[in-house]
A and B are shown apart, each in its own frame.
Chain A
């Protein structure tokens, strides 16, 4: 355990230097998540679909790692494996060197569509975890929850049921529900999908402020490249099925981030780079499915 920690720290120092903005102090004690040689397939024996094959991925401590990939690649499978909802066919998912065996409070998932429990009020949802585990005193729980409601700006809506809240409010309540458990890793599974553009931008900024404050190890799965670049320290681009890590782009933009940074030349370059890879991968999808070869030809001709 001790050796593990020092090695993490040493690594952090190295990468910290490269990025120029994540300091040692921020990264110390943060958790590292690794996927080693992970494979996962779904379906019946005679029509097995290999979704992940020998995937290696490191989610560095104290950093926000965004994961993008062509639609239909194994992003959800990845989330399910890390969260422990599913188990890999082979390979290992390690949190701080220890294998992940099932879902747990150390890895909180913020789900695609809100997974707030509809028969509990926002407040009940937030205190649900500590209440079940009984690891906080009632007073402490109330205090923590109140503080979080303050942070996410939902104080007046504390005692509303999720279905009475707007989409953006639901996501914020869900963030609060995850944060109260002080997870080692936050797993964001396309958390802002389905929000309108305005709420989405607000949520991104809001989420960034929280991340920049506590620097929790974060994996943020999304299908929007701009969102990924805006939020992430590292951008992992996945390949088409079977999914591998196609490329890792270090996003060297200053923190705290602002939306203006997205229009900088650097950000544009990151975007172009990622887009190029994604296009390539998306086209493979057309090719491998056999149909639409005319379209693929026309597209590559245009690109030349």
Chain B
């Protein structure tokens, strides 16, 4: 093989994008060459170190009652937990499962209702005139103010909680979707008009994809809001769920379990956000590729 052929082979190799494991490995190597992972590691150590010193190390007044990181972690991964709850006990898994299930239902409902509503409000002047004032009046009412009403309106434990979590994220999704439609550049509508689109063409080819970036920004906020209102609702009127676990552990002085529930919320919430982000990137490859060109 001549040199020319070798270099050709090399360039063609470099030009075909790697897939699956090779791609992950390439990404990992690339990110290890940047300061990002080391800074992250440093940040985590700093945070955990401070937490440890305040609680377990120096036992600073007012902090000594808080379970320290070592205690929580030992308990978390213990097969025989002192306080009765760990990663391997049934009740913990049930609590996580119940909360996640509620979030999935509430978030799906909110998205399924909010996105179409927002699209129509952004697209049709008349529809907006009807719906917007009501939305804008209901939206500022804090979700906690809805709790009594939710308990009166719905029976049992489950439906009021679902209602509260759905309501909060529904408002966020609707508003963001509507703003998304309004943000679409007029020239795309004009171009579509020139090319002879009918109204429904414009809706599916311009309005929906054009609002996507805003919709997914909205969905990321909305899933956070859904968690927030879910936990609030679970704390007040729950039966199972991570919010319930926090309140319940607090009532019976199981502070370690309480912190475990908090940490779990953090991780599960982060995972759901990441999934929404991933979904958005899958649906907006045009945007991902453009941002990649700008080095983002």
Contact = CB atoms under 8 A, between A and B. Distances in A.
Interface of A: 83-85, 102-105, 107-109, 111, 113, 115-121, 128-129, 132-133, 161-164, 177-178, 181
A105 B187 CA distance: 15
B251 interface: no
A107 B201 CA distance: 19
B190 interface: yes
Given A104-B196, A161-B289, A163-B293, A115 B209 contact: no
A224 B188 CA distance: 26
A181 B195 contact: yes
A178 B287 CA distance: 24
Contacts of A132: 192, 195-198, 201, 205
Interface of B: 185, 187-188, 190-198, 201, 205-206, 209-210, 212, 284-287, 289-290, 293
Contact of B195 (A105, A113, A162, A163): A105
A104 B196 CA distance: 5
Contacts of A181: 195-196
The 4 closest A-B pairs by CB, nearest first: A163-B290, A129-B195, A103-B193, A115-B187
A133 B210 CA distance: 21
Contact of A129 (B196, B212, B284, B285): B196
Contact of A109 (B188, B190, B196, B285): B190
Contacts of B284: 119
- Interface SS of A by simple majority: loop
A83 B197 contact: no
A177 B195 CA distance: 9
A163 B286 contact: yes
Contacts of A107: 194
A108 B201 contact: no
A116 B194 CA distance: 12
A168 to B, nearest CB: 16
A119 B212 contact: yes
A181 B195 CA distance: 8
B194 A104 contact: yes
A163 to B, nearest CB: 3
B186 to A, nearest CB: 9
Contacts of B191: 109, 111, 115-117
B194 A128 contact: no
Given A105-B194, A105-B196, A109-B194, A115 B188 contact: yes
Nearest to A111: B187
A133 B196 contact: yes
Contact of B289 (A117, A163, A178): A163
Contacts of B198: 132
Contacts of B193: 84-85, 102-103
Contacts of A105: 194-196
Nearest to B198: A132
Contacts of A118: 286-287, 290
A256 B289 CA distance: 40
B197 to A, nearest CB: 5
B201 A164 contact: no
Nearest to B208: A119
A138 B242 CA distance: 55
Contacts of A108: 194
B190 A85 contact: yes
A115 B195 contact: no
A164 B190 contact: no
B294 to A, nearest CB: 9
B189 to A, nearest CB: 9
B214 to A, nearest CB: 13
Contacts of B285: 161
A109 B188 CA distance: 12
12 contacts: A84-B193, A109-B190, A118-B290, A119-B287, A120-B205, A129-B196, A132-B198, A133-B196, A161-B285, A163-B287, A177-B195, A181-B196
B190 A83 contact: yes
Nearest to B292: A164
